[in-house]
Structure 1
Amino acid sequence: MKFAIISAGEGSRLAQEGVQLPKPLVQLNGMAMIDRLIHIFAKNGAEQVVVIINNEVAQTKEHLALLKKVSEVPLEVIVKTTPSSMHSFYELSTYLKDDKFCLTTVDTIFREEEFSRFIETFKASDKDGLMAVTDYIDDEKPLYISTDEELNITGFHDARTPDCRYISGGIYCLTPKSIDTLQRCMENGMSRMRNFQRQLVADGLHLGAYPFSKILDVDHASDIEKAEAFLIGKDN
């Protein structure tokens, strides 16, 4: 199984709030966010990790070039500035067409034990996709997810509906079947990951929701301290 990281954003909000490091290199309890993800993926049996970073920040490029030489798992780095996360996913998709894969963004923060159970569940599943979800909402524009009683996903929504118990956690386990949907989305001029996810449902792919207790994003300087406390169990 392969793992992929979207890390091509500019991190402009963090920079505006005084954070000196580019987002992928922001330290959480002494480890860069991108290093943390790669380490966790290796522990969960990654055959390869594919990362896309933008072409704007030399510090990130230098870090990944060095990391590639010493990584505990084969690491492929794409350096390309893209207009959206979905375009970044499209660039990554060349490496993801032949097996199940897990995709996330570099600033997605979760508990390792929950992530491991999530990956093992997907490996044993015959679903076309398994999406990490949470009922913890700390997002400026959450993507709500409607499900049936068996936690099969029935829709993705910008606003809560009566059958929405969860929001998207931004961690996607998918099969190569999803790449066909991605290709059509690109051909039709779509540019947002949430529209890609809606199209997965429209195309009839069988998607399941997998609840996590909490998933955080690091979008603001204040999120760094919050994420560090969460990771060491001092977030309550």
Structure 2
Amino acid sequence: MKYAIIAAGEGSRLAEEGVAEPKPLVRLGSECLIDRLLRIFTANGASEIAVICNEQSPQVRHHLEEVARNGLDGRAIPLRLVVKTTPSSMHSLYELSGLLAGEPFVLTTVDTIFRESEFTSYVETFTRMMTAAGSGASLDGLMGVTDYVDDEKPLYVEVGDGWQIRGFHDTPDYLSAAETKTNQPFVSAGIYGLSPHSLDTLSRCMERGEHRMRNFQRALVADGFRLDAWLFSKVLDIDHASDIEKAEDFLKTEDFESAVHI
């Protein structure tokens, strides 16, 4: 299984709010965002981890080059680094696409905060589904969703029977009034598990001059890809300084629950 991390954003809102570090190096407790993902992905069977950072963040580039040479906490990290400034996350994925061909992959942005135990279950499910797809099943992707809405511009995910995704929407208007009263709508968790064939659709999006990951996801549905949803209880993004403390509290809760379970 390959993994990919988009860490090419500027983090301008964090900087405006007094956060000195570039976003990938923002620390949650004792661990910075990029290292947390590298550790988790390696623990979940990564054959390679493709990462893109921008050219305006030499600190991030130097940090990742150091990790590629020396690993994290004594553990080797199968890191492949691309350094390029891009106009959108979809363009960042395109720059990584040459490293992702040939195997299913899981993609996130650098500030996606999730429960590690849930992520492991998600990866196990995605691996089983991709193995079944190799034997003739029809699944093309497993997309993380959550009913916890905390994003400024969430992408709403229309989910049908059997958790199959029917569409991606900027608003929840696809729900009827009755459904809106009785159901919390699902939004994208920013965790994407995809077959390598999805990169063909990505190339066509680029040829059409499209932007934004949500338009790539819509194109997958339009191209007839079978995408299923996988429910995460809660996923956070780090967009503002206040989100750092919120994410730390969330991860402390996970640590406490793990300790009680043990």
> TM over 0.5, yes or no?
yes
* Cα displacement string for residues 36-56 of structure 1 (whole angstroms, at most 9, x for unaligned residues): 000000110000101000000
Alpha-carbon distance in 2 for matches of 1:216, 1:188: 31
Could you tell me which of 175, 184, 203 is aligned with 1:183? 203
Task: Check if 1:80 corresponds to 2:92.
Answer: no
Q: Is the 8 A contact 1:47 1:73 kept in 2?
A: no
Could you tell me which of 203, 207, 218 is aligned with 2:223? 203
* Cα displacement string for residues 97-120 of structure 1 (whole angstroms, at most 9, x for unaligned residues): 100000000000000000000000
Q: Is the 8 A contact 2:7 2:109 kept in 1?
A: yes
Structure 1 residue 149, shift from structure 2 partner: 2.2
Task: Quote the residue 1:54 is aligned against.
Answer: 54
Alpha-carbon distance in 2 for matches of 1:67, 1:177: 30
Aligned residue runs from structure 1 range 33-48, under 5 A: 33-48=33-48
Q: Is the 8 A contact 2:165 2:229 kept in 1?
A: yes
Task: Check if 1:214 corresponds to 2:237.
Answer: no
Mark the runs of 5 or more structure 2 residues left unpaired by the alignment. Answer: 134-138, 257-262
Q: Is the 8 A contact 1:104 1:172 kept in 2?
A: yes
Question: Which structure carries more helix by proportion?
Answer: 2
Structure 1 residue 165, shift from structure 2 partner: 2.9
In the superposition, the TM-score normalised over structure 2's length comes to: 0.88
Structure 1 residue 65, shift from structure 2 partner: 1.1
* Letter of the structure 2 residue corresponding to residue 94 of structure 1: G
Alpha-carbon distance in 2 for matches of 1:64, 1:97: 22
* Letter of the structure 2 residue corresponding to residue 222 of structure 1: S
Task: Check if 1:154 corresponds to 2:166.
Answer: yes
Q: Is the 8 A contact 2:168 2:214 kept in 1?
A: yes
What is the CA RMSD across the aligned residues, in angstroms? 1.2
Task: Quote the residue 2:5 is aligned against.
Answer: 5
Task: Quote the residue 1:28 is aligned against.
Answer: 28
Alpha-carbon distance in 1 for matches of 2:6, 2:242: 22
In the superposition, the TM-score normalised over structure 1's length comes to: 0.97
Task: Quote the residue 1:94 is aligned against.
Answer: 98
Structure 1 residue 79, shift from structure 2 partner: 0.4
Structure 1 residue 57, shift from structure 2 partner: 1.4
* Letter of the structure 1 residue corresponding to residue 59 of structure 2: Q
Alpha-carbon distance in 2 for matches of 1:148, 1:106: 29
Structure 1 residue 139, shift from structure 2 partner: 0.4
* Letter of the structure 1 residue corresponding to residue 146 of structure 2: T
Alpha-carbon distance in 2 for matches of 1:13, 1:178: 31
SS in 1 for 2:20: coil
Q: Is the 8 A contact 1:132 1:209 kept in 2?
A: yes
Aligned residue runs from structure 1 range 111-130, under 5 A: 111-125=115-129, 126=133, 127-130=139-142
Alpha-carbon distance in 2 for matches of 1:158, 1:58: 34
Structure 1 residue 232, shift from structure 2 partner: 1.2
* Letter of the structure 1 residue corresponding to residue 198 of structure 2: S
Q: Is the 8 A contact 1:145 1:166 kept in 2?
A: yes
Larger radius of gyration: 2
Number of residues of Structure 1 aligned to a counterpart in Structure 2: 235
Mark the runs of 5 or more structure 1 residues left unpaired by the alignment. Answer: none
**Identical pairs, percent:** 58
Alpha-carbon distance in 1 for matches of 2:247, 2:188: 18
